[in-house]
C-alpha cells in the first residue's frame, strides 16, 4: 500500500498533485485545485483552526533550473503589509515539493474585462492601484518582467481588498539593485544579452531583442495594457513571437495609442526617453493616469451579482481628449 502522505510522483514533467482534504503543515486543508501549469499548481485551502480561506501555490522540488517559488517567497517577505499584493501567510518544503500560502484573491483582470465592455472604466480606475504597485515593487529593487492582465486580480469579493488590484506571480522577477562588496546598494550591471522573459503580447521591443530588462520595460507592459482597453493591439492576432516583434517594430506608437487618452502620449514620451540606469518619474506617470479619470469625470458603482461584474458609469461633461490620428502625437515616437 502506498503511503498517502507522499502522493507526488517524482517527475520533472508534471505539476504537483495534492488530493482534496490533505492537510499541510497541520494547518491548511486542501479544498480544491484552482489551476496548474508546468510543474506548479494553485489550490484553495482553509485554515482548520481559524477557517480562514487562502491560496496555496506548490512547486515540484525536481524542477530543472532551480526553484521559482523560492524567489517568490523572498519578494513576498519584502512586501509584507504593503497594499496591492497578496500577503504571505506561510511557506514550507516537503520531500517532493515546496509551497507558499498567501491571501486568496478574486478574479483576474483578464477574466473581468471579458465580461462587459463598460468594465473598461472600472479597469482603468483599478489600473491606478496596479500602477502604484508597479512603482512600489521598484522600491524594493525588483522588476516584475511579466506584467499582464492574467497576473493581476481584484481582492476576494466581500472584503475591503476587493476594491483594489493585486499583482500576482513573481516567478520571472529579477533584482536590479544588489549589494556591493563595500556593503552599499548599487545598480546591477546589465548583461549584454539576456534570455527572453515575459509575455509576447505585452513585452517591450527591447525585451524581444533580448536586452536586459529595466524599470522602463515593466512600464511598457503597463502602457500596452492601457492601450488594449480601447481595442485590440495591432499584433493581437499575430501567430508567433517573431511576427509580433516585427509588427511592434514597424508600428508607430501613434497607431498603438489611437483613440487613447492624450495623457498616454506623455506616458509613452517619458518611458521612451529612459535607459536601463535611469529612474522613471513615477509621480508624473501616476498623475497622468489619474488625470485620465479626472478629465473623464467618471463615477462608478461596482456590484457583483451572481458572480458578474457590472459597472454604472456617468460620463457627463467630459473634458477628456483622445488621440484620433497621428497629428496628436510626436512624430517618430518609438517604444
Secondary structure (DSSP) of 257-295: TTTSBTHHHHHHHHHHT--TTPPP-HHHHHHHHHHHHHH
- The closest alpha carbon to 86, from 161, 196, 148, belongs to 161
Directed axis angle between helix 282-296 and helix 119-139, to 10°? 170
Q: Virtual CA dihedral for 50, 56, 62, 64, nearest 10 degrees?
A: -150
Q: Reply yes or no on whether 146 is catalytic.
A: yes
* CA 30 to mean position of chain CA atoms: 26
Instruction: Give Cα separations from 322 to 257, 293, 296 (angstroms).
Output: 9, 13, 11
Active site residue: 12, 146, 218, 314, which one? Answer: 146
For residues 202 and 217, what is the distance between their CA atoms, to the nearest angstrom? 10
Burial of 84 (0-12, 13-18, 19+ CB in 10 A): buried
The residues that are catalytic are 146
Amino acid at each position: 500500500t502506498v503511503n498517502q502522505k507522499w502522493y507526488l510522483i517524482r517527475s520533472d514533467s508534471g505539476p504537483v498533485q495534492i488530493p482534496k482534504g490533505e492537510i499541510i503543515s497541520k494547518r491548511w486543508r486542501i479544498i480544491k485545485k484552482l489551476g496548474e501549469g508546468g510543474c506548479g499548481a494553485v489550490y484553495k485551502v482553509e485554515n482548520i483552526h481559524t477557517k480562514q480561506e487562502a491560496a496555496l501555490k506548490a512547486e515540484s522540488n525536481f524542477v530543472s533550473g532551480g526553484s521559482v517559488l523560492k524567489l517568490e517567497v523572498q519578494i513576498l517577505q519584502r512586501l509584507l503589509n504593503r497594499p496591492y499584493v497578496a500577503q504571505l501567510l506561510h511557506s514550507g518544503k516537503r520531500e517532493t515539493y515546496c509551497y507558499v500560502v498567501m491571501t486568496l484573491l478574486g478574479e483576474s483582470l483578464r477574466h473581468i474585462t471579458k465580461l462587459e465592455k463598460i468594465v473598461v472604466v472600472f479597469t482603468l480606475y483599478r489600473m491606478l492601484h496596479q500602477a502604484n504597485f508597479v512603482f512600489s515593487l521598484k522600491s524594493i529593487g525588483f522588476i516584475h518582467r511579466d506584467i499582464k492582465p492574467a497576473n493581476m486580480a481584484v481582492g476576494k469579493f466581500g472584503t475591503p481588498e476587493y476594491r483594489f488590484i493585486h499583482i500576482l506571480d513573481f516567478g520571472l522577477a529579477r533584482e536590479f539593485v544588489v549589494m556591493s562588496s563595500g556593503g552599499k546598494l548599487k545598480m546591477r550591471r546589465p548583461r549584454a544579452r539576456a534570455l527572453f522573459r515575459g509575455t509576447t503580447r505585452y513585452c517591450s521591443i527591447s525585451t524581444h531583442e533580448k536586452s536586459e530588462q529595466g524599470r522602463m520595460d515593466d512600464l511598457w507592459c503597463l502602457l500596452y495594457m492601457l492601450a488594449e482597453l480601447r481595442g485590440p493591439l495591432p499584433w493581437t492576432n499575430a501567430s508567433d513571437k517573431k511576427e509580433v516583434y516585427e509588427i511592434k517594430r514597424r508600428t508607430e506608437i501613434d497607431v498603438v495609442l489611437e483613440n487613447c487618452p492624450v495623457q498616454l502620449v506623455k506616458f509613452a514620451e517619458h518611458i521612451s526617453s529612459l535607459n536601463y540606469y535611469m529612474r522613471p518619474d513615477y509621480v508624473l506617470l501616476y498623475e497622468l493616469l489619474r488625470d485620465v479619470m479626472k478629465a473623464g469625470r467618471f463615477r462608478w458603482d461596482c456590484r457583483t451579482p451572481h458572480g458578474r461584474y457590472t459597472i454604472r458609469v456617468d460620463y457627463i461633461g467630459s473634458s477628456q481628449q483622445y488621440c484620433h490620428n497621428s497629428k496628436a502625437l510626436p512624430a517618430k515616437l518609438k517604444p
